[in-house]
Amino acid sequence: MQARYLLIDGHSVIFAREDLRRIHQGNRAEARRLLIEAAQRLHDGGQWRVTLVFDGTLGTATPRTPHSICVAYSTADETADSMIERTVHGSGKAAQILVITADEAERRTVESLGATCASPEWLMSEMEMTERELQQSLRTIQRKARW
């Protein structure tokens, strides 16, 4: 099966989730870290290759290994939306990209470039399903190993 690409507007997801939005009000870096961890687990599930894009230069790029997600921060002269649009346009694989955003204008733009869009709520549901599958796999392994 060919990997599918998930391109996430990080702050759009943070502000769509009440728990992350509340954390973001007091500690922006912590809210980003929690979203990055959840996205990494989704990436590790094997169905998606994940890129997470945030507005702002306050964050730093996380060290990347061949098996980790890509976390990117926009520069002072661009936005996360423009980075997402540039990525979709230049990918040559727009039809394989699913963009996660709550921004309707961004949704229309990336769809006009050939990508598909889904809501932050869809992403949360996908993350929850992946987490359940991972826990079930771990239980199966533990039963077989008799830990």
Of the pLDDT bands very low, low, confident and very high (cuts 50, 70, 90), residue 63 is low
- The mean pLDDT value of the chain amounts to 89
* CATH fold for the domain made of 4-145: Rossmann fold (3.40.50)
Which 3-state string (H, E, C) describes the chain?
A: CCCEEEEEEHHHHHHHCHHHHHHHHHCHHHHHHHHHHHHHHHHHCCCEEEEEEECCCCCCCCCCCCCCCEEEECCCCCCHHHHHHHHHHHHCCHHHEEEECCCHHHHHHHHHCCCEEECHHHHHHHHHHHHHHHHHHHHHHHHHHCC
**Is residue 88 scored above 80 in pLDDT?**
yes
Band the pLDDT of 1: cuts 50, 70, 90. Answer: very low
Q: Where are the domains of the chain?
A: 4-145
pLDDT of residue 130: 87
Q: How confident is the model at residue 58 (pLDDT cuts 50, 70, 90)?
A: low
Supply the pLDDT for residue 32: 94
